[in-house]
Structures are given as C-alpha cells and as structure tokens.
Structure 1
Amino acid sequence: MNLPADAVTALETFEAAAGWEQRARLLMQWGERLPALSDVQMCETNRVHGCESQVWLVGELRDSHWQFSANSDARLIRGLVALLLARVNGLSAIELQQVDLPQWFNQLGLGRQLSQSRSNGLNAVLQRMRELAQ
C-alpha cells in the first residue's frame, strides 16, 4: 500500500531519531503542529469514546479521499493522533480499512511506548474514522 506523503515524512523523521528521548521530543512537536479544532467541532458528537484522554475527531470526504482533523487535551496523545492522521489522511475508505495501527507505530519506533490504554484509545480513534468513512 502506498503511504501518504505525510506518513513518509514521519517515517523518515522518526527513523533518523537517535533513541527514545529524541523520538519523544518529535512526538510532542508533531502534536503541536495539529491545527486547532473550533469550539463547535470540539463537541460531544465529535468526541471519541474509548480514550482515557479527551479526543475529538472530524472527517470529510474530498474527491473520494478522507481528510481528518483531531485534537486531544493530552500532549502525548496529541502527538500520537497527529502521527495517526499522517498515516490515514488522503486514503480512500477501502484503504482506511487496511491500516495496521500496531505495525505503523512499530515502524515509527514507538510501538513499545504504547501502553495498553493508549493503544486502545488509538484503536478507538481509527475505528471512529472507519465508521465515518462507511
């Protein structure tokens, strides 16, 4: 499967990182680059359930490819969500169904840092994306 350009950038950036501390800094930087959602978008309807932190997700279909925006009240989660968006933005609904979340974070060298609850939360975000794309 072809990776979106942002995903390729993420992979190259994280592969070049020397160790966990540098990856953690990169993770925070990716989170800080997430565009803010409006107050209207940060409503209960757009909140992803199944996350310990608050995560809001909106998606729209543009030329049969999905574009998602998201935000979180937790810095680390914002970074992880930003990397998930890098992986999925621009995909079709069918491609979205084929995204392997654990594999993606392992490729980034972040797999071991995903606690069970964070992993469950990210899976909930991906699941919500897939529901929106149905």
Structure 2
Amino acid sequence: MATAAFEDIAETFDFLDDWEERYRHVIELGKAMPPLDPAFQVPATKVDGCASQVWILPRIEDGRFDFQGESDAMIVRGLIAVLHALYSGLPLDEVERVDAQAELARLGLDDHLSAQRSNGVRAMVQRIRQLAAAAG
C-alpha cells in the first residue's frame, strides 16, 4: 500500500550498503524538504511525544492528505520526509490503513533508531492519522 515515493526510498535503501549510508540518505531527504514557515511552528502544529521539536501542518486537497513538517534535528527532519513519502497524496480514508510500522521496518529503521527516536516516529504517525481522521 506504499506510495511510489516511498517505494523509491525503499529501493534506494536496498542499494545502500550500510546503515551509515542510509542514515546520510535520510538526512539528505530532510534537507531536500521545503522548510515550514516559522509562523506555523506553533503549539497547535507541534507533535507531542518527540524528543526533538516537531511540527506537522496538514494540507488537504480534493480529499487527499498532504502535510508539511519541520524539526530542529536533521535526522528527525529526514524521518518527516520519509513519512511524507509514505502518506502524501493518499485519500484521507487510506491514511489510517497504512501499516507504518511494517513499511518503516522494510527500511530497517526500527533496528537503527534510538528508543526516543522510535517513540517520536510513532508520535508523528499517530498525529498524521489524527489529522487525516479529523479532516475526513
């Protein structure tokens, strides 16, 4: 059920030889994301449960989910980019059906993130689901 953008990331991860290269790739994905305007980095868009500062701003168009995100940590910004690839463009009712844990496990992220980062990713996924459900 993954999007084409997420499949591209998964394919790239298959070609990268070690976790250090994958880690750098995640950071590069984050650097490539457009920044979230600081005016939207407010308590209403902040994700609770992350060790780093994280903001997610939903954008719903024609019944499809999209979002912008920002973090003060480069790896977390990259993880936001990965989640963006996983969810962006999906119909609102499909967002909740994405098995994010299984999809992210394909990348090996579950084995290489600290417990705090893993908790933060779960918090971001939960927030994305809540935003999509509220919009639907």
TM tier, smaller:
over 0.9
For residue 131 of structure 1, what is the amino acid of its counterpart?
Q
- The 8 Å contact of residues 27 and 78 in structure 2, kept in 1 or not, is answered as yes
Displacement of 1:97 after TM fit? Answer: 0.7
1:46-80 per-residue CA deviation (whole Å, 9 max, x = no partner) reads: 11111110000001111111011101001111111
The CA distance in 2 between the partners of 1:110 and 1:125, in whole Å, is 15
Q: TM-score, normalised by structure 2?
A: 0.91
Alignment of 1:1-134 (within 5 A): 1=1, 3-134=2-133
- The 8 Å contact of residues 110 and 118 in structure 2, kept in 1 or not, is answered as no
Percent same amino acid among aligned pairs? 38
Q: Between Structure 1 and Structure 2, which shows a larger proportion of helix residues?
A: 2
For residue 103 of structure 1, what is the amino acid of its counterpart?
A
For residue 86 of structure 1, what is the amino acid of its counterpart?
A
CA RMSD in angstroms comes to 1.2
Gaps of 5+ in 1: none
Displacement of 1:6 after TM fit? Answer: 1.1
Q: TM-score, normalised by structure 1?
A: 0.92
Gaps of 5+ in 2: none
The CA distance in 2 between the partners of 1:77 and 1:39, in whole Å, is 17
The CA distance in 2 between the partners of 1:55 and 1:118, in whole Å, is 12
SS of the counterpart of 2:128?
A: helix
Q: How many residues align?
A: 133
- The 8 Å contact of residues 15 and 109 in structure 1, kept in 2 or not, is answered as no
